[in-house]
Structure 1
Amino acid sequence: MKAIIFFILFTILTPCFRGQYHYQGLMNYLENRMIAMEERIALWHEQNNRYNADLSEFRQQSTDLLEKLAKEYNKVRLDMEGAGARVDRVEREMDYIETKNPPKPCVKAADKMVEQDVVVKERNKDEFFEVSVCVNLVSSIRAMKILKRLGSPKGVWTKDARSAKVYVFNSTSDNTLYEFNSVRELSASSEMSKSRQITLPSAWNGTGHAVFDGFLYYISESSELRVIKYDLKNGTVADSAVFPIEDNSPVYNLNPETLVDLIADEDGLWALYPSGDTINLAKMDSNSLDIEQMWDTACPRSNAEAAFIVCGTVYVVYNTKPPSRSRVQCVFDVNDMVSSGEAPLVYFPRRYGTHSSLKYNPEERQLYAWDDGYQIIYKLALKKKLWAIMPPPEE
C-alpha cells in the first residue's frame, strides 16, 4: 500500500520538479547575459572616457598650434611688409642710378653723328632731308595716373589730338568701338555700354590702332592684311589699302595678336611691322594710305611689348614673359640725329603685367596705356634734341 502511494506521489510531483528546473535554467541564462552586457557597458564607458581624454588633449594641442601659427603668420606678414618696403626703396634707388648712369640703348645712328661738329655739318648739308621737323625727345616719365579698370586684359584706349573724345577698343578682335566724350566721362562710367557704340564694317586685329584728325586707322585681317581708314564723323570707310608685308609674325613678341602697329604723332601716321627678328618702320600718307618711306630700326622683336613715336623717334618698350618692369631699351630716330649718349633709357613704374598698347597724344604730351585691363596715363617729360639746340656753324 505504501509503495502504491509513493508511486502516485512521484507521478504527480515529477512535472512540477521539471518545470522548476527549467525556470531556474532560464533565470541563470538571463543573469549571465545581463552580466555580459554590464561588462560591455563598463568597457564602453572606459573606452569613451579614454576617447574623451584623447579628444580634449587633441583640442588643446590644436589650440596651441593655432596660436603659434597665428604668431608666425603675423611675424611673416611683418617681415613681408618690411621686405616690400625695402624692395620699393631699392627700386627707387635703381631708378635714380639708371637715370644718372644709363647704359647704352639699342640706337641705330650713323657713327659720324656722334661728335657734335659732325652733327652740325650733316644738319646743314643741302642734300639732307628731314622726315620729322619736330625736335622733342623723351627724357623721363614725369607722373603716372591709374584711371580705372574697364574691359578685357588686352585692349586700346586713345584720344584724337584735335578732340577731347576718347576711343576704347576692348580686346584684340571685335567690331564695336566705344566713344566717350572725355576722359572724365570714361572715368565716371561703370560700363562700356553707357558710351556711344560704333559698329565698324569689319573686325580689327590686335592692338595697333590709331585715331588721327577725325579718322580711325586700324588693321583688318581676312585673306590679306588691310589698313582701313574709317571716318568717325560720317561713319563710312574713307579708304583702305593692303599693307605690303609678307611676314605674318607679330611685331611685338609679347603681344602676338598685333601684326602691324599704326601710330600717330606730331608728323602724321606711321606703321611698325615685323621683318625677320627686328622691327621696321614705315611713314604713311594719312590721306591716301601710301607708304612714303621705310626704315629698318634694328630694334629686336624679342621681349618687345609695345612702342610709341614722339617727333619721328621710335621708342620700343621691352619686358619679360614673367611680367617685370617695362623699359624703353631701343630708340630709333628717322633723321639719324639721336646719338647713343643722348637717347634715354626710360623705366616705367612697375604695375600689373605688360602693356598691350601705348598711344601717344602730342597735344597733351602723355601716353594712354592699357595694362591688364587697367587704363593708365603716363605724363612724359620732354627735352630738345641735341642738334636742335646747338648754334649754327660760323661762316
Structure 2
Amino acid sequence: MMALQQASAFLVLFLAALLLPPQCAQDPAMVHYIYQRFQVLEQGLEKCTQATRAYIHDFQEFSKNISVMLGRCQTSTSEYRSAVANLALRVERAQREIDYLEYLREADICLESEDKTLAEKLIQEAEEEKKIRTLLNAISVTAVNCTSEADDPPSDERQKVSSSLNAVSQCLCHSPHFISSHGHFIIAHHPKKCCDNMLMGIKSLKIVKKTMDTHGSWMKDAASSSQKVYFLIGSRNKTLWEFANMRAFMEDSTKPAPRKLILTHSWQGTGQVIHKGFLFFHNQGTLNEIIKYNLQKRTVEDRMLLPGGAGRALVYQHSPSTYIDLAVDEHGLWAIHAGPGISGHLVLTKIEPGTLGVEHSWDTPCRSQDAEAAFLLCGVLYVVYSSGGHGPHRVTCVYDPLGTIGEEDLPKLFFPRRPRSHSVIHYNPRDKQLYAWNDGNQIIYKLQTKRKQPLE
C-alpha cells in the first residue's frame, strides 16, 4: 500500500511538471486539487482490490463446496451402481432359480412318462421281436423272389417289399441301422428306445451360466440317469469339472463343490461327448484318434482311428479348433468330420461305442463352409449355419441316412439371435434339449418335434 501511495505522489509531481504551464506550476491550490483527485482514485482502486479479494475468497469457497458435492455425488453414484449390480445379480439368481425349478418340473414329467414297469417292457419287447421276425421273413421271401425272377423286380413286388419295409421301419422307429441297396435289405439291430421324431422348431433359449471363456463345451451323460453336469473349458485342455447337478452348476457357491478331473490326454476342439460314463474326445496332437476315457477309473478304456480322411480339415468353418465333432442321440454314438477335397462336404459316421468299431459312413450333401455346429436327433443330422452376424443362425441342411425326411419336409428352423457363432451345439436324447456354448454363455435350447412320416 505504501508503494502505491509513493507511486501516486511521484505521478502527481510528474504530471504537474508536465501539464501545468510555468505560471501555474507553483499554484498550491491546483496541486492540492490534483492530489485529492488521485486520492479518490486510490480509494477506488483499493475498493476494487478488496472486492476482487472478496470475489476470489467466495469463488474458493464455492469451489470447495462444489468439490464436496461432487465427492458426495461420486459416493452416491458408486452406491447406486453397487445397488443396481446387486439387484441385477439377485434378478439373475431368481431367473436361474425359476429356470432350475422349471427344469426339474419338466424332468419329472419326462421321467414319469418314461417310467414303465419291468413286466410291461418285457411284454412289449417280446411282441416287437415276434412282429419283426414275421416281417423279416416276409421281406426275405419277397426279396428272394424279386431277385430270382429278374434283375429289376416288378412294381407290385417292389411295392410289397416297400410295404414290409415300412412296417419294419415303424417297429424299429426308423433306425439308421436299416440299410437298403438295390433290393437287398440288411438289419443290424434295433435300438433299445423308440425314436421317430423330427425337429420342427426351436422353442426357447435359457442362459444357464456365464463365463469368460469363448470356447468350450458342457453336457450331461446322454445315456445315464445321472444328474451330473460336466464342464470342459477351452478347445485344448485336459481338466474337466464335474458338478453334482444342474443347481450346483448354475450356482458356484452351492455345495457340494465341483470335482476336478485331470485327464491323461488333452482334447482337441469342442466336440466331446459323454456316453454311459465314458468321455469320448479327439486326442490333441493326433490327426484322427478318438479316445474313450473311463471317468470313474480315470483311465483310457479304448481308442480308434476315424477313417475317411477325418481330421484333415475343420469340420465347421466358424469353429476354428474343431476337426472332429462327436455326437450322441437315441441311436448311440456318431462322428462328424469334413470330407477331402475343396467342396468340404460333411461325412457322417456311426460308431459302436462299446468296441469303437465303425458301423457305417455316409457322404452328406451338407457343406462345412459357413457352418458353425451340427447335432443329431433320432438319427437325422441337422447342420447349423451362420449368416456372418447379419442375421439369425439357422438349420439349412438336413441329412437323414434313411431318406425319410428332407429339407422340404421341415419348416425354417431359426435359433434365437446371438451375437457370435456357437462353439458347440449338442443334443441330449434323455431330456430332449440342446446344450450349447455361445460367447461364454452356457445355453439350453428347448425343442419342438413331431413324428416322422412313414416311408413311401
TM range (shorter): 0.5 to 0.7
Structure with the larger helix share? 2
2:393, 2:328 → 1: CA distance?
21
**Equivalent pair of 2:329/2:428 in contact (CA under 8 Å):** yes
* Match of residue 13 from structure 1: none
1:234, 1:174 → 2: CA distance?
19
TM-score after normalising by structure 2: 0.58
Q: Deviations over 1:62-106 (max 9, x none)?
A: xxxxxxxxxxxxxxxxxxxxxxxxxxxxxxxxxxxxxxxxxxxxx
* Match of residue 198 from structure 1: 261
TM-score after normalising by structure 1: 0.66
Specify which of 233, 236, 239 is matched with residue 302 of structure 2.
Answer: 239
* Amino acid across the alignment from 1:198: L
> Is 2:338 the partner of 1:274?
yes
* Match of residue 185 from structure 2: 128
> Is 2:365 the partner of 1:298?
yes
* Match of residue 428 from structure 2: 361
2:318, 2:13 → 1: CA distance?
87
**Equivalent pair of 1:178/1:192 in contact (CA under 8 Å):** no
1:29, 1:119 → 2: CA distance?
130
Summarize the alignment of residues 25-44 of structure 1 with structure 2, pairs less than 5 Å apart.
Answer: none
> Is 2:247 the partner of 1:169?
no
**Equivalent pair of 1:151/1:171 in contact (CA under 8 Å):** no
* Match of residue 60 from structure 1: none
In structure 2, do the counterparts of structure 1 residues 228 and 193 end up closer, same or farther at CA, with 3 Å as the change threshold?
farther
1:191, 1:155 → 2: CA distance?
22
Deviation at 1:212, TM superposition (A): 0.6
* Amino acid across the alignment from 1:324: G
Specify which of 329, 332, 335 is matched with residue 396 of structure 2.
Answer: 329
Specify which of 205, 229, 233 is matched with residue 292 of structure 2.
Answer: 229
* Match of residue 251 from structure 1: 315
Q: Secondary structure at the match of 1:381?
A: strand
In structure 2, do the counterparts of structure 1 residues 247 and 378 end up closer, same or farther at CA, with 3 Å as the change threshold?
closer
Specify which of 126, 133, 148 is matched with residue 209 of structure 2.
Answer: 148
Q: Secondary structure at the match of 1:282?
A: strand
* Amino acid across the alignment from 2:403: D
Task: Figure out how many residues of one structure are paired with residues of the other and give that number.
Answer: 298
2:13, 2:360 → 1: CA distance?
113
1:230, 1:335 → 2: CA distance?
31
Deviation at 1:189, TM superposition (A): 1.7
* Match of residue 270 from structure 2: 207
| Aligned alpha-carbon RMSD (Å) | 3.8
**Equivalent pair of 1:122/1:128 in contact (CA under 8 Å):** no
Deviation at 1:190, TM superposition (A): 5.3
1:324, 1:340 → 2: CA distance?
20
- Using the TM superposition, name which of 226-235 and 379-388 deviates more: 379-388
Q: Secondary structure at the match of 1:258?
A: coil
Q: Deviations over 1:310-360 (max 9, x none)?
A: 111000001133363111110000112114431343101113322111111
Q: Provide structure 1 residue ranges, at least 5 long, that are not aligned to the other structure.
A: 1-26, 49-116, 391-395
Summarize the alignment of residues 100-111 of structure 1 with structure 2, pairs less than 5 Å apart.
Answer: none
1:118, 1:160 → 2: CA distance?
41
Q: Provide structure 2 residue ranges, at least 5 long, that are not aligned to the other structure.
A: 1-8, 16-37, 53-158, 167-179
1:119, 1:300 → 2: CA distance?
34
2:165, 2:441 → 1: CA distance?
43
